[in-house]
Amino acid sequence: MNKAKNTILSATGLVWAAIVLAPFFLVVINAAKTSAEIVISPISLPSSFSQFLTNLNNVINNQNFSFWTSFGASLLITLVTLVLLILFSSMAAWVLVRNKTWWSTLIFMMFVASMVIPFQVVMLPLLSVFRSLQSATGIKFLQSFGGLIFAYLGFGGAMSIFILHGFVKGIPLELEEAASIDGCTKAGIFFRTIFPLLQPVQVTVIILNGIWIWNDFLLPSLMLGLNGRTKTLPVAVTAFVGSFVKQWDLILAAAFLAMVPIIILFIFAQKYIIGGMVQGAIK
């Protein structure tokens, strides 16, 4: 490629990068202004850094947003779901691959087919199913983290099993036979030989589900309620915006806080995050 062409192309690329990143820049500079300053000049740089801290402080301690509580809730729900999902879906994928019977095919096909189902068609009856379970068993499903994690396992399972299934198929059966001869029980074979081998594809499953659960709004808003005591971050942002008459300084400070954790994660795990999201889409 000649030099002039290279320069033109990289300049074009930089212009688009500036357009893509500009909204983030605008969030940062305006989260550091007072409402009045935003009205006067929303594109100028902020005059003082202390206003940034004041805004963040106001937002963090706001009752509707309560950053640390919602951040903690989001983190807890995401992490617990991911741990359980990785464990359970690896177990299920392994059983489904190693059994060549009509029922294993049926269950697998059911999971695959269910990936077509949009959330909207099950969300309303889901609430009533959870309500019935709640009154029948006494276990709290709605307005509870446990219930939300349970639902995420149900919704995330199909895709995870599908991805893991493809990978388990490639693991030679001889490996399991060898372990079996060495005296491993069936469960032992899975935990000692199969589960560790699944690691590369488990990263894909973690990224794909992690980004989705972290950013998901509709399910937690329906199950925890927009005005519930505890909220996840996206729900908290919505509740916060709803409680103010467009106080942009504070709304942008809240948006900033909601964006920061995942951007920090991206800086450190860029390769895995992009790889995971792309692999998940292709499969």
Partner 1 sequence: MGAKGLLIILAILAVATLVYFLAPKGKKRDGVVQALFLAPMVVTFAITVGIPLVVGVFYSLTDWNGLSFKNFVGLGNYIKIFSQNDYVYSLLITMGFTVVNVIAVNVLAFLLALLGASDVRFSKFFRAAYFVPNLIGGIVLGYVWQFIFNKIFTLAFPVSMLTDPNLAIGAIIIVSVWQYSGYIMMIYITGLQSVPKDVLEASGIDGASGLRTLFSIKMPMIANTFTVCLFLTLVNSFKQFDLNFALTAGAPARILAGKAIQSTEFLALNIYNTAIAKSNYALGQSKAVVFFVILAAVSLTQVYFSKKTEVEM
Among residues 2, 4, 19, 49, which is the contact residue for partner 1, using CB under 8 A?
19
250 is a site residue for partner 1 (CB under 8 A): no
Smallest distance, partner 1 to C-beta of residue 50, A: 22
SS3 assignment for the chain: CCHHHHHHHHHHHHHHHHHHHHHHHHHHHHCCCCHHHHHHCCCCCCCCCHHHHHHHHHHHCCCCCCHHHHHHHHHHHHHHHHHHHHHHHHHHHHHHHHCCCHHHHHHHHHHHHHCCCCHHHHHHHHHHHHHHHHHHHCCCCCCCHHHHHHHHHHHHHHHHHHHHHHHHCCCCHHHHHHHHHCCCCHHHHHHHHHHHHCHHHHHHHHHHHHHHHHHCCHHHHHHHCCCCCCCCHHHHHHHHHHHCCCCHHHHHHHHHHHHHHHHHHHHHHHHHHHHHHHHHHHC
Taking the least distance from each CB to partner 1, the nearer of 43 and 79 is 43
Q: Which stretch binds partner 1 (CB under 8 A): 50-58, 64-72, 123-131, 165-173?
A: 123-131
9 is a site residue for partner 1 (CB under 8 A): yes
Taking the least distance from each CB to partner 1, the nearer of 45 and 187 is 187
47 is a site residue for partner 1 (CB under 8 A): no
Q: Which stretch binds partner 1 (CB under 8 A): 4-12, 46-54, 60-68, 166-174?
A: 4-12
Smallest distance, partner 1 to C-beta of residue 168, A: 12
23 is a site residue for partner 1 (CB under 8 A): yes
29 is a site residue for partner 1 (CB under 8 A): no
Binding mask 164-203 for partner 1 (x = CB under 8 A): ---------------------xxx--x-------------
Record the tokens describing residue 25, joined without a space: 């820049």
Q: Which stretch binds partner 1 (CB under 8 A): 59-67, 121-129, 167-175, 195-203?
A: 121-129
Binding mask 130-169 for partner 1 (x = CB under 8 A): -x-x---xxxx---x-x---xx-xxx-xx--x--------
15 is a site residue for partner 1 (CB under 8 A): no
Smallest distance, partner 1 to C-beta of residue 69, A: 18
Measure the CA–CA gap between 147 and 223, rounded to whole angstroms.
8
| Residues comprising the chain, all counted | 283
Binding mask 206-245 for partner 1 (x = CB under 8 A): -----x--xxxxx---x-----------x--xx--x----
Among residues 122, 171, 184, 197, which is the contact residue for partner 1, using CB under 8 A?
122
Measure the CA–CA gap between 63 and 246, rounded to whole angstroms.
17
